[in-house]
Amino acid sequence: MRIALVTPMLPVPHDQTRGRYIHETARSLGRLATVKTFLQTMQYPKVPGLRPRSFIYGSIGPDYQLDGCDVETFDYMGLPVVSRGWNGHIASWSLTPRVRRFKPDLVLAYWVYPDGFAALRTARALGVPCVVGALGSDIHVRSGVNEKMTRRTIDGVDALLTVSEAMRQYSIREFGAPADRVHTIINGFNTAVFKPLDQAALRAKWGVRSDEKMIVYVGRFVEAKGMRELITAFQTLAKDDPKVTLALVGDGVMKTELMELVHSTGLTERVHLPGGQPPEQVAEWINAADVLTLPSWSEGYPNVVVEGVACGRPVVATDVGGTREILHERNGILIPPRDAGALTKALRDALDRDWDHAAIAAAMSRTWDDVAVETLKVCEQVVAGRTGRRAA
């Protein structure tokens, strides 16, 4: 099968944490089918104040390469807010001729709007089916024009993939997606990378004292990830216990603000800031820590939580999206979102509790190859169904 995979989210030089799960899926899927990945990026005019504030913005050149993937990059122009309803149309104008040259049997997109809509228009123009994968906020955080266009995309696709059963039910309930066309395919993890490692050796490597009670956060530095609540909780814990430290692995638009908050309370020396890291180093930081936390306001099926558990670390995370499908009383603590007090208490409890780290890690085994097999099965069913209808 020839699959054109369309997405705006892959690891890029200026943001190594972006779309790692899509990269892993594309790489594994490419071992089962002929996959070409189309990385499309919205470009904004070079006018002060018009650049996005929710993610690290940067250009991606035509020489961009990604391990294990055949990638073609391209840009399309957009204006914040103004072009929102047209972004899917504009993207498809650039996408269609590129996909046509590839001659796919099916178009598979990750991120519902505008990219899934663009993929849908392209697939219809080429007479092939379209499958779209929803990842989290591309369904949960929708309003206005975005919600309308997300609904149009879901109505038009041949199949919708969701990364958790909670998201599947949400898409059926809130967007009217036909239940027989929505498939839950939960994320896997790289079992060769995310596994229990020697904590003492890694602490020595990264300059972490042996007696530190270290909390680690991995991801983007944005408001919706609960970063302010995390800093507030850390400040309280650090004042009560001089051994409590925090590692922030990643990058984002809130980095300066977060550091100012930390500096204002004199805790700068108790915060590790390794920046955005490739998976191997992310796994080392998780293993070096005592607890991993993800206090997001919204999630689909948070892969960093899976990776934390795979490394044998307990996790404190908000009870949003599919997180409940990963965590239970033996491997973590669930809390309500936007509640710094609850986060503080849960982190304190997690640091004080004696966890069975080996048992935590042993219970997690799903791989990206499993994800690829299930994804390909849905694609094959969609293509077979389209062929059958034509024959009839």
Domains, in order of start, for the chain: 2-188+368-391 (3.40.50.2000), 199-362 (3.40.50.2000)
If one counts every other C-beta atom within 10 angstroms of the C-beta of residue 233, the result is: 26
HSE (side-chain half, CA atoms, 13 Å) at 205: 13
Record the tokens describing residue 184, joined without a space: 């839950």
45 Cβ contact list (under 8 Å, min separation 6): 77, 79
pLDDT at position 379 is 98
Question: Cα separations (Å) of 167 from 18, 20, 107, 186, 195?
Answer: 21, 20, 22, 10, 27
Q: Give the count of beta carbons closer than 10 Å to the beta carbon of residue 99.
A: 23
Instruction: Write the pLDDT tens digit of every residue in 254-293.
Output: 888 888 888 888 899 999 999 888 899 999 999 999 999 9
10 Å Cβ neighbour count for 355? Answer: 16
3-class SS at 244? strand
> Exposed (0-12), middle (13-18) or buried (19+): which is 108, by Cβ within 10 Å?
buried
Q: Which residues of 306-340 are buried (b: 16+ CB within 10 A; e: fewer)?
A: bbbbbbbbbbbbbebbbbebbbeeebbbbbebebb
Separation between Cα atoms, residue 318 and residue 342, nearest integer Å: 10
Residues β-bridged to residue 144: none
What digits encode the pLDDT tens for the residues 131-184?
999 987 788 777 788 889 999 999 999 999 999 999 999 999 999 999 999 999
Question: Exposed, middle or buried by CB within 10 Å (0-12, 13-18, 19+), for 186?
Answer: buried
pLDDT level of residue 326 (50, 70, 90 thresholds): very high
Residue 86 has phi, psi (to 5 degrees) of: -110, -5
Mean pLDDT score of the chain = 91
Question: Which pair of tokens denotes residue 108?
Answer: 């598979």
Cis peptide bond upstream of 114, omega within 30 = yes
Of 87 and 295, the one with more pLDDT: 295
Cβ–Cβ < 8 Å for 214, 249: no
Confidence bin at 13 (pLDDT 50/70/90)? confident
**Total residue count of the chain as it appears in this document:** 392
